[in-house]
């Protein structure tokens, strides 16, 4: 049973436009949500996080929105740049329980010139 779901395996966006990556979760006990970015032949790297007590966190071109009632979060990238082409993993953790992070299957983002 997948606790973190990314239902779009891939997404193509024109350079300069907004990229929106979506993620749903099932476990209401998660208290932190993270996004990781992965380039080919490299390990995932941390991008941005949000606590469950917030509904928005912004870092430069990247903003994560959290809707707890819908158990949904999204990552917005504005404006999208060619270097943003990568696989993006949504992840969740339950800090008070253990050290684990539960990852989604990832969404491959293509930024088109």
Interface positions with another protein (CB under 8 A): 6, 32, 34, 36, 41-46, 49, 51, 89, 93, 95, 98-106
Q: What's the min distance (Å) between Cβ of 17 and another protein?
A: 26
Least distance CB 46 / another protein (angstroms): 5
Q: Please, which residue, 43 or 113, has the CB nearer to another protein?
A: 43
If the CB atoms of residues 3 and 79 are measured against another protein, the closer one turns out to be 3
Pairing mode of beta strands 10-14, 107-112: parallel
Nearer to another protein (CB atom), residue 20 or residue 101: 101
**21 exposed, middle or buried (CB, 10 Å; 0-12, 13-18, 19+)?**
buried
In the complex with another protein, the residue whose CB is nearer, 79 or 93, is: 93
Minimum Å distance from CB 32 to another protein? 4
Beta-carbon contacts of 77 under 8 Å, excluding residues fewer than 6 positions away, are 18, 19, 20, 21, 61, 62, 84, 109
């Amino acid at each position: 049973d997948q606790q973190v779901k990314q239902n779009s395996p891939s997404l193509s966006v024109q350079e300069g436009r907004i990229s929106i990556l979506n993620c749903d979760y099932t476990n209401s006990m998660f208290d932190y949500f993270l996004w990781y970015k992965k380039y080919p032949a490299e390990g995932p790297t941390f991008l941005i996080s949000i606590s469950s007590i917030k509904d928005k966190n912004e870092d430069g071109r990247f903003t994560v929105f959290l809707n707890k009632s819908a158990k949904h979060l999204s990552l917005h990238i504005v404006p999208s740049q060619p270097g943003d082409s990568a696989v993006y993993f949504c992840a969740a953790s339950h800090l008070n329980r253990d050290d684990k992070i539960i990852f989604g299957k990832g969404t491959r983002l293509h930024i088109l010139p």
